[in-house]
Amino acid sequence: MTVADTGVGFPEVPPVRSGPPSPWSDGGRGLFLIRKLTQSVRITNGATGCTVTITVVLPAQGLAVAA
């Protein structure tokens, strides 16, 4: 999945946090969740905005998924 916007993007590559952001912080949850729930994430800043591309591998149809 790819999401793009026309905002200013990130000033540099966002750091990988060692844990979740503070519950009192104004941001940081989106990329934290993306990194926890997907197999890969690519963040690209460009002249027209920022693009985030994620890869999610889904289980094969008919296979049980442990909860």
Helix residue ranges, H only, 5-58: 29-37
Please state the rounded mean pLDDT for residues 4-30. Answer: 80
Domain segments of the chain as ranges: 2-55
Q: Calculate the average pLDDT of the chain.
A: 82
Q: Please enumerate in sequence order all residues whose Cβ is within 8 A of that of 4, keeping only pairs 6 or more positions apart, or say none.
A: 49, 50, 51, 52
Question: Tell me: the pLDDT tens digits for 34-56?
Answer: 888 999 999 888 888 889 999 99
Is residue 65's pLDDT more than 70?
A: no
Look at residue 55 and give its three-state secondary structure.
strand
Please state the rounded mean pLDDT for residues 16-40. Answer: 85
